[in-house]
Amino acid sequence: MNSLSGLDILIFVFYFILVAGYGYWVYNKKKKATISASHDYFLAEGSLTWWAIGASLIASNISAEQFIGMSGNGYFVGIAVAAYEWIAALALIIIAVWFMPVYLKNKIYTMPQFLKTRYNETVSLIMAIFWLFLYVFVNLTSILYLGAIAISGLIGPEYLHTVMIALAVFSLIITLGGMKVIGYTDVIQVAVLIIGGFATIYFALTIVSEKFGLGRDAMAGFKTLMDQAPDHFHMILDKPTAASSQEDVNKYLILPGIAMYFAGQWIVNLNYWGCNQYITQRALGADLDTARKGILFAGFLKLLMPIIVMLPGIAAYVLHKNGHLEGLRGMDDAYSAILGFLPSGLKGLAIAALTAAIVASLAGKLNSIGTIFTLDIYLKYFRKKPAADPHAPAMDAAPTPVYNEGEEKNMVWVGRMAALVSIVLAVVFEWKDLLGISGEGGFTFIQKYTGFISPGVFAMFILGMFWKRTTGAAAVAGLITGFVMAIFFNSFAVTVFGHETLMYTAFKNNDGVYEIPFLINMGWAFFITMAVMIGISLTGPKVNPKAFELDKSMFKLKPSVIAMIVFTLLILTALYVKFW
């Protein structure tokens, strides 16, 4: 089951040559562009179409975190984990309609730049450092580790570190070409991801139908999953009672029923898709109409993702429960266990799809790391910026400095070096799983630890965009409050207030320790942060001098955009009605 045929290897090599060759062609072609080297490398300014933006968003988002981590949660909990994907589609509508006009009108290129423009240098620097640590020690490490676990599970566990290094090198090669190369190679990556993903789930369902004596029938396999694991096909988990099993409690700790829709689920999605350099970077170089359509296209694709990344986990659960999948080590092995059943050739396509997801995500994060480090740290604190042209016309936002060719190349070089150092650090920390990702479960690890800064960050952004009274002092206080409150609710609230309060219900985890669901923690941390920021801002001027100018025309929608929104909302409604 762990061996690859010659056909598998041939398909994978073809995928590698296709992506690398196309990336090299795009890289050579972009040298003729008239835009600056740095803007081309960091933003691909004006050169990505709406479908390229949408594909790049999905290719960069869907990674080992989803293929392995979400598939593992599908094995453990079921379809409820699809909330992360389906609510994301709704969050992307909000981002496209209300967030992007603010970013583009104010010529925002990085998230720390937004914080400096709206608040002050202190807030910008703190968050630049926070984001760099988050990307390196949570995102890069977890994606590398989960990806290496999955692929080595197919070719042999002794190749774990070899696969880890290969993924790191491949993603670094793609990153060297800049955002334009990443954006357009992501179109191939997402095509491979979707084709390979759907092929995998089709064969997984036929395997289930065969094992239960129903022949090779994918629909029969799906019905078998629903019959054998009916508890895995409910979006809303019931709150545990005294009679609930420890397994049911553990599921609720990860996905706390309907309560999460009033707490952290929105913060997770709106912060990730709207206040995240790694994601917004793809649209920041485009015009508003292109950016909106690209983001909405990504929202539509998000509706499909649970089918690709979650159903294999449920299939693994049903097969394992009925003795057809022995030797499964844990939930993060569910996806690779299903891939082991695939026939020669398709296994190579499935590995190519998985590799495409991992490499695209790693490359996108590496480019964002290079962007933030170069534009928000290196240029500000390690290299004196050239003065802006005094004869240039006045602009609404701060004028962009003009750099000569040598300085432009130096900025790109610094960005590449930042990416190199970051991927090396990620490999070092995951060589022996020093961060303990395997113990948490990959998907939960990322969501939980990102949640320590999400409440404060999202509060800063949402108030900074839409409330003119918000001050820089409130932003600093909010950032600190959000972080402290997230830690408090995660580690100390139960000791101080007890395990049952009006704010939350804590449950005993596997270690017998009372724990509050982390999505509930995130919700309370956000609301308290908002209250602190509003209270501090009310002591300042009624209109902060750095407030953004907003007008109704910024938020007008074209008929084509409205049609895309309505289409997504109809599908989303149908999904929740079916699987509530």
Per-residue pLDDT reduced to its tens digit, 449-465:
777 888 899 999 999 99
pLDDT at 394 over 60: no
Tens-place pLDDT, residues 311-330: 888 988 888 888 777 666 66
Helix axes 218-228 and 179-211, enclosed angle (nearest 10): 80
CA 206 to chain centre: 30
Q: What is the pLDDT of residue 384?
A: 58
The pLDDT, as a whole number, for residue 437 is 66
- CB-CB contact of 66 with 291 (8 Å): no
| Distance from C-alpha of 367 to C-alpha of 355, rounded to nearest angstrom | 18
CA atoms within 13 A on the CB side of 451: 28
Please say if the pLDDT value at position 233 is more than 60.
Answer: yes
Rounded mean pLDDT, 277-284: 71
Residue 111 has pLDDT above 50, yes or no: yes
> What pLDDT does 526 receive?
95
Query: What is the tens place of the pLDDT at every residue in 129-178?
Result: 888 888 888 888 888 887 887 778 777 778 888 888 988 888 887 777 66
CA–CA separation, 155 and 340 (whole Å): 9
pLDDT of residue 401: 53
CB 520 within 8 A of CB 263: yes
pLDDT (mean) for 198-219: 87
- How does pLDDT run across 515-568, given as a tens digit for each residue? 999 889 999 999 999 999 999 999 989 999 999 888 888 899 999 999 999 999
Domains along the chain? 6-25+50-385+403-438 (1.20.1730.10)
CB 299 within 8 A of CB 566: no
Q: What is the pLDDT of residue 185?
A: 65
d(CA 546, CA 552): 19
6: pLDDT confidence band, cut at 50, 70 and 90? confident
* Spatial CA neighbour of 81 closest among 555, 410, 447: 447
Cα separations (Å) of 117 from 103, 111, 238, 272, 396? 11, 10, 45, 20, 11
Q: Which residues pair with 515 in a beta bridge?
A: 507
Tens digits of per-residue pLDDT, 235-248?
A: 898 898 888 888 88
Whether residue 124 is predicted with pLDDT greater than 80 in this model: the reply is yes
> What is residue 392's DSSP assignment?
S
Closest CA to 56 of 335, 360, 336: 360
Is 545:117 a contact under the CB 8 Å cutoff?
no
Residue 489 to residues 448, 484, 508, 532, Cα–Cα distance (Å): 12, 9, 15, 17
pLDDT surpasses 50 at 35: no
CA triple 480-371-98, angle to 5 deg: 65
Question: Could you give the percent of the chain with pLDDT greater than 70?
Answer: 84
Both structure tokens of 510: 């596997």
Distances (CA, A) of 342 to 203, 205, 215: 7, 11, 16
* Confidence (pLDDT) at 344: 80
Using CA atoms, how far residue 335 sits from 74, 146, 326, in Å, is 10, 11, 14
- pTM for this one? 0.79
User: Quick one: tokens of 489?
Assistant: 């609710």
More confident residue, 436 or 164: 164
Q: Is 146 left (phi over 0), alpha (psi -120 to 50) or beta?
A: alpha
In the structure, what pLDDT confidence band is assigned to residue 1 with cuts at 50, 70 and 90? very low
* Residue ranges of E strands in 379-533: 507-508, 514-515
pLDDT at 525: 94
Give the pLDDT of residue 387. 47
Residue 341 pLDDT grade (very low, low, confident, very high; cuts 50, 70, 90): confident
Q: Does residue 445 carry a pLDDT above 80?
A: no
